[in-house]
Structure formats: C-alpha cells, structure tokens
Chain A
C-alpha cells in the first residue's frame, strides 16, 4: 500500500464521507484493485464503517476486490452488440484464454469483464482491451487480437 498516495487522495477529497465512491475510484486507479488493507486504512482515516465501504465495493460493478490482469478485456454486452453476436465473441474468448467473466488468467495476463454498454453501438459488436477499441468483431478475429498482446513487451 502506498500510504503517501492514499493520504493524498483522502486529502484531495477533504476526508469527506460523501466522496467515498470517488475516493475508492481514485484508489483503484492507482492500485488496479481495492486491497483489503487499503480499505481498512481508509476506514480508519475517514472514521467510516468498514461495512459501508465493503457495501459500496461489492455494489458497484467497477470495483474489484481481487487483483486484475495486466490487460483488461471488456466485452460490450449492450443490445446492439448482443444482436451483433457479442455472446459468441465472449464464448470464443473464454475458450481461448480459459477463464470466465470476472476472472483473471493464472499468468495475470488478462482479466475478462463484460460491460453493459460502452456507448459505441454504431461499431457493434465492440470489445475494448485496456484503451484499444475493436469494432465489428467476430469470433474468427479473437485469437489474432489476443495473441497481439502476448507478443507485446510489458507496459
């Protein structure tokens, strides 16, 4: 845990209880997930019950209590993407890297998530890996797309 950075985030939000969601978003931004010791630290510093923090961490989809992979694959499951075959793409990804939605590969290379709608419906079906968008994806493209991340040097 980087206490200095966490303290900075808390200070920026003026130790405000109502800013807890933003605080957790910022913490996840630097830690890649929400480690338990960090949440305990925030709870003490803010004098905010740990149960409330965990309630928020488990209620909102964006938060993760487990470490995520180096690359996050987000498959859009909006209506237009669903119609365009998002499920088939998702299944092909699952077959290729052998994990289910919400899981991370053993080598911590990929985490797989679905997202309600990325608002890029005109490009359906869409998937995003980190910040890279892939539009009009079909199951036949998956292997090639994923393997390009394997050959990439660590970022």
Chain B
C-alpha cells in the first residue's frame, strides 16, 4: 500500500500549503465528475481523498506521522458520483446541448445523426434568448422597472439595478425559451443600452454637469436649482464663482457596488444676457479694475 505522501506526490516534510496544492492539482484530474469517461478515476480519487483526509488535517497528520494511526483508518466510504446519474437516463434537467448544437445544424451524416439523437432526447433545457433594451440615463442611475415587449407579443418585466452601466447584460433566469419535457426553460439575456443625456456625463461612479449661471449669481453668490439624475436639488453658488468652478454634490452620483454613492460635480459656466445691455455696458466702461485685469496672464485666474 502506498503511503499518503506517495499518493499526493509530496515529501514527508512538505508544508500544509504544499499538501493542499498537490491535492487540488491531482483532484482536478482524478475527480470522477470532472472525468466522467475515466473508469479508473473513482478508485484513484478515493485513494487521493483518503490521503488528503489524513495529511490535510494537522492533528491527524501528526498522529499519522507518530504512528498513532495508520492510513487504513482514512479510507472513505464508497459514494455515488453525479456522473452516474448524469449519464444514466434521458430526463436529466441539467444536460445542455450548448456544447455541440452547431454540429447538428450542418448538413452531413453526423449532423443528421445528432439531430435524430436530439429528438430522441425528449427533455431538453430551453434555449437562452437575447434581447436589447434602451433606458434613460436617469433610470440607469436610480434603477427602474421596465417592461420589454417581445417579438412574439409577450412581455418581460426587467428590473434595472441602480447604477447600471451602458452595455451591461442582465440575466433573467428561467425567462428564456421553454424546455421540452422536464427540461427547464432557458435564460433571457438583456443587453441594456443607456441613452446619453446631453446634460450629464458619467465617469465611474461620478457624474458631471455643466450648469449655466448669470453674471449676477457669479459675482454676488446665489441659491440656484440644479438637475441631478434623480431630481432637482438646491445648490449654493458661492460669492465670486467663476466659469470652470467645480462644486460637489456629495452622494448624488451613481450607487457604488460596495455601498454608498459617487458624487455629482457641477461645473459652473457664466452666461451673459443674450441681448446687449446698455446698463451693463455703462458699468463695465466705468470699471477701472476691469481694464487692468488680464485673464490671459499667468496666475490671473
């Protein structure tokens, strides 16, 4: 009988980490369910798990090393493996044709055989179905319930999770094509397109907005209303604000995966009245400071 160290292929002085690594490497090639066509796998895997039962446990390993227990005590009971049931009969709800369906679609002798085989397998999981859905930017941030009308006239209720990004694919389990017999339905995959909103741009969890303000609001400061994807908020423009001044609305960005929200940044832009204003012209003409200030010179802003 091989010693558990020989079975795992490690030195008797191997560390616990080396033993675990050796076990995992061997388990991949010996687990009967990962090698359903290998008849000898079961016996070898039993040997392997027996060895690992002893050496993977520090206390048992110590007792084995000191001769207190021997390798026989670690032998495992015979157990049924999934592969025996997966192969046994035809109403396996788990079996999928996704791995060879393309071969059945061509037009040669093998494809014909596969098609006959497929028909013979009465119970098959339904196909996965793929859809596209366009949503507003606001809905992508706050989340929403959407109803998708399907080509066949049916509808699908889709929950848009808050903070969804453009191109994200949502999976609705069991909402694909119905299966045959006891094969369950497939899944629906929905690729969501987020329609851009000209006011907002998104970078990661943060949202940016350019907000026009008047000269008066910039010079004297003001309370103004600013849009966010989830509704308007009141924003304080500080006295002496400038074009390019960035204000932060904490927590008004997209939800973060790990909890909390990003921020919304509001970039101010001073906008003069559309038509020339004689009063403003008269004031600026008499404003001496305004003539000496040159914003194109370094450090002027």
Tell me, yes or no, whether A binds B.
Answer: no
Taking beta carbons and an 8 Å cutoff, which residues of A are in contact with B?
A: none
Taking beta carbons and an 8 Å cutoff, which residues of B are in contact with A?
A: none
